[in-house]
Structure 1
Amino acid sequence: MKKNILASWLLLLWLFISTGCQHEEAKAVAPTPEKDYLVSAKLVTELPQAILQAMADNRGFPGIKNNIKNDVQVYQVTYLTTYQGKDIQASGLMCVPKNVTGAMPILSGQHGTTFEQQAAPTNFPATFSGFELFASAGYLTVIPDYIGYGASKDIFHPYYNQQYSASAVIDLIKAAQSYAKKNQLQLNEQLFLVGYSEGGYVTLAAQKEIETNPKHNLTVTASASGAGGYDLVDMLAEVKSGKPYPNPSYLAFILQAFNSANAWNRPLTELFKEPYATEMPKLFNGVASAGAINRALPKEPEKLFNAEFFANLKKEDGELIFKKALVDNSIVTNWVPQSPTKIYQGTADAVVFYQNSKNAYDTFIAAGAKNLEFIPIQGGTHGSSIEPMLMSVIPWFQSLKQTPKE
């Protein structure tokens, strides 16, 4: 009897151990599903080569016409990205060249600062930027709206936030890869990045994240950025000087964006003087233009900012959390570009000062950058420098682009 009881217990023990081991083994080998960043892709229009050439002429890019070879399908893309630790849906434009033989590279084009929701790239064709033309030269081209526009318009745009700038680009690239896989489009491993104004900052933010975080499994082939404001600490020095700044909308935008993205949630009266503090939600409602905001705000920092806040900015031990955020979100902090990179800057730019880009370049070179070039655009203003920049970027990218195999 004792032997039978013992045998029964041994059998039960063996069954428990064996089934437990099998359960643990099954858990260990279960594959983790790869995240699909693509939510949807809606065809907006199809543009023949002739129309694209006319658009290049009409929008001030006549020198690009010779590179316009393919008809292009334009899609509104909704994709997953993250904001404050949660998945959200963001949007962007995707331009797919037709009748391309062989594998295509991906190009991501980053647009400049906009205060108006209607200026988001997904409102194409009214928001034609010029980056769309790269698709007709054989690049699968994506142009993110950025968080805070389009599908994510209910979020205050995290202006000059390095993390969210980078993720808006990288996650759209991954969504484009998903679309290509699902639709039997061949992609090679090349990735080109280009952006101007805020887009210049966003371009280098994405490049920095890609180069320092191998989990993305991306490699930047070449990167071109213009007038991006890469050193926010340097920009703060200009503000602290008290000199009039012709575009106070940018200063108010950055300060509110940092307050929102970092969840500081400080009352606007702590940051701005009245009546401007009360007016900020109306001015930054996604409808008012840059010009309208600039006309409503004083150009002198001491008249715009709360007196105590502005005084603390000037103190070495004042507003330390804000100053740390400026350091953390400066592209020049703890990074040296590894991929071939060109930085463009107009010498007469009154929005993003020439010296800011030059100082960023000098910082990178001093830190050991090898594949970096600084290209001044003589006499170029913030508005006029994008065309000569693109006229330089296109042949450079084309010289690096792999020739599709038949």
Structure 2
Amino acid sequence: MVKKLFFIPLLLAVFTAFLACNPFMETPADSEAKEYEHFREVLKDSVFTLSQLKDVLIAIYPEEVLNNPNMFEIIDLLDTTRTVKNTAISYVTKDPKGNDIVASGLIITPVGRSSKGVLYFFPAAKINKATVGTKLMLTFEGVLGFFGYTVIIPDLLGYGLSEDKEFPFLFPENTGQVAYDLHLAAAEYFHSLGQPFSREVTIAGYSMGGMGVIALHRHIETKGKDGFVVKHSYPGGGIYDLNETIRYYKDEKSHHHPFMPYLFIALDYWYDLELDYSQIFKEPLLSNMDDWLSRTYTIQDIEKLLGDDIAWYMHPDFFTEEGNESLRKIYVHIKDHCVFTGWHPRSRMTIIHSSKDKVAPFSIARKMYDSFYQKGSPVTFLTSEKDHFAYGIQYFGSLLIYLTIK
């Protein structure tokens, strides 16, 4: 089913099922017999009230989002004395090469009341390594914890404890693995406290987080052997096929989010491609890439450095069909970076994507929906004519409005 939605109240109805209370709070049946295979230790924990959320939002999100008055007006109407406990943990997972690696993630739990269920919330793309969940200890994705939900937010590889590695940008297989291992570690953490942990999980995430939603949903249904079940997933505004996305940007020759250079760095790092970057980038990016692409700048800083014209910093061969030696090394690998081929969801999924999205191509989201729908999956497609960022605010705002009413 495809629906066009232009107002938050219409999108709101979809999340009603999402936020319905789960009466079966338990750990997987076989968890009693397991050692802690994934969970390693608590790195730190802190208690926050909702009144502290604004400062964290300002530290994380782009100016065009933060300047939206509706977002703060919603927060101002809420009970700002609500409290959550945020716990940063370390856990063992796998890197894209199959090696063990210690990563980190954030677990948010309500204080003074029972959990209504488990939400796994993927963060949107963060360029600056200092702005991830376990660094700040509170992110906007965790606001649902203030309303009684246990929220799990991954740092993912390349951030938090593993920040010395490159972030595997749009590596769906590894994203699903890393996210799932954090979920197992969270279950083990709750087990260590003698507290219940639901076998059902709802998954959400927007923009780069949208791909993560699909990756985790797929991993649970195809490789998960620990008794967890996806209740409902909500991928929003994501990039789901890397090959098609690069083709889209070649044609557009402009971007609305400066992720492209980081993608080439990640592919080179994890596939050992030994790229000649003089065949990838132009000056001045070529001479400054070690600094500019160090992930120590904000998105706004990088946008000022790179502008929105890809032709300004990408090698001219990028826009040709044949490319060059280094570009062809890239193209061999990106064909495998599609999160929806060879699989379709068994559990309910609501895909949320604007037809006017210039960051994540709408055509790919529609192609994914059609693929799932034709295979009989319980999938719904919600769309709008807002841009990527405005629809993202609507995505999050719909949850907040419902929670306020709840």
Please, what TM-score do these two structures have when normalized by structure 2? 0.78
Q: Which residue of 1 aligns with 2:331?
A: 323
- Is residue 157 from structure 1 mapped to residue 170 from structure 2 by the alignment? no
Q: CA RMSD in A?
A: 3.4
**Equivalents in 2 of 1:38, 1:135: separation in Å?**
21
Counterparts in 2 of 1:69 and 1:105: CA distance versus 1, 3 Å:
farther
How many residue pairs were aligned? 362
Counterparts in 2 of 1:373 and 1:297: CA distance versus 1, 3 Å:
same
User: Quick check: 218-227 or 370-379, which moved more?
Assistant: 370-379
Q: Which residue of 2 aligns with 1:85?
A: 98
Pairing of 1:307-318 with structure 2 (within 5 A): 307-308=316-317, 310-313=319-322
Q: Residues 285 and 292 of structure 2 are in contact (CA less than 8 Å); yes or no, is this contact kept in structure 1?
A: no
With a CA cutoff of 8 Å and minimum separation of 6, indicate the structure with the bigger relative contact order.
2
**Equivalents in 2 of 1:68, 1:210: separation in Å?**
35
**Equivalents in 2 of 1:276, 1:306: separation in Å?**
10
Q: Which residue of 1 aligns with 2:391?
A: 385
Q: Secondary structure at the match of 1:355?
A: helix
Q: Residues 107 and 141 of structure 1 are in contact (CA less than 8 Å); yes or no, is this contact kept in structure 2?
A: yes
Counterparts in 2 of 1:319 and 1:123: CA distance versus 1, 3 Å:
closer
Q: Which residue of 2 aligns with 1:46?
A: 47
Cα displacement (A) at 1:304: 3.0
Q: Residues 122 and 209 of structure 2 are in contact (CA less than 8 Å); yes or no, is this contact kept in structure 1?
A: yes
- Is residue 363 from structure 1 mapped to residue 371 from structure 2 by the alignment? yes
**Equivalents in 1 of 2:54, 2:307: separation in Å?**
42
Pairing of 1:254-265 with structure 2 (within 5 A): 254-265=263-274
Cα displacement (A) at 1:142: 1.1
Cα displacement (A) at 1:171: 1.2
Q: Which amino acid aligns with 1:386?
A: G
Q: Which residue of 2 aligns with 1:182?
A: 192
Q: Which residue of 1 aligns with 2:300?
A: 291
Q: Which amino acid aligns with 2:259?
A: Y
Q: Residues 51 and 81 of structure 2 are in contact (CA less than 8 Å); yes or no, is this contact kept in structure 1?
A: no
- Is residue 124 from structure 1 mapped to residue 124 from structure 2 by the alignment? no
Q: Which residue of 2 aligns with 1:344?
A: 352
Q: Secondary structure at the match of 1:109?
A: strand
**Equivalents in 2 of 1:247, 1:93: separation in Å?**
28
Counterparts in 2 of 1:173 and 1:395: CA distance versus 1, 3 Å:
farther
**Equivalents in 2 of 1:223, 1:171: separation in Å?**
18
**Equivalents in 2 of 1:52, 1:237: separation in Å?**
38
Q: Which residue of 2 aligns with 1:220?
A: 230
**Equivalents in 2 of 1:285, 1:320: separation in Å?**
24
Cα displacement (A) at 1:144: 0.8
Q: Secondary structure at the match of 2:259?
A: helix
Q: Residues 39 and 80 of structure 1 are in contact (CA less than 8 Å); yes or no, is this contact kept in structure 2?
A: yes
User: Quick check: 89-98 or 289-298, which moved more?
Assistant: 289-298
Counterparts in 2 of 1:64 and 1:234: CA distance versus 1, 3 Å:
farther
**Equivalents in 2 of 1:118, 1:54: separation in Å?**
15
Q: Residues 63 and 391 of structure 1 are in contact (CA less than 8 Å); yes or no, is this contact kept in structure 2?
A: no
Q: Which amino acid aligns with 1:328?
A: D
Cα displacement (A) at 1:224: 0.6
* Seq. identity, %: 21
Q: Residues 353 and 382 of structure 2 are in contact (CA less than 8 Å); yes or no, is this contact kept in structure 1?
A: yes
Please, what TM-score do these two structures have when normalized by structure 1? 0.78
Q: Residues 147 and 403 of structure 2 are in contact (CA less than 8 Å); yes or no, is this contact kept in structure 1?
A: no
Q: Residues 248 and 298 of structure 1 are in contact (CA less than 8 Å); yes or no, is this contact kept in structure 2?
A: no
Q: Residues 49 and 81 of structure 2 are in contact (CA less than 8 Å); yes or no, is this contact kept in structure 1?
A: no
Q: Which residue of 2 aligns with 1:229?
A: 239
Q: Which amino acid aligns with 1:108?
A: Y
**Equivalents in 2 of 1:49, 1:93: separation in Å?**
17
Q: Which amino acid aligns with 2:173?
A: Q
**Equivalents in 2 of 1:250, 1:48: separation in Å?**
33
Q: Larger Rg: 1 or 2?
A: 1
Cα displacement (A) at 1:184: 1.3
Q: Which amino acid aligns with 1:139?
A: Y
Cα displacement (A) at 1:219: 1.4
Q: Secondary structure at the match of 2:389?
A: coil
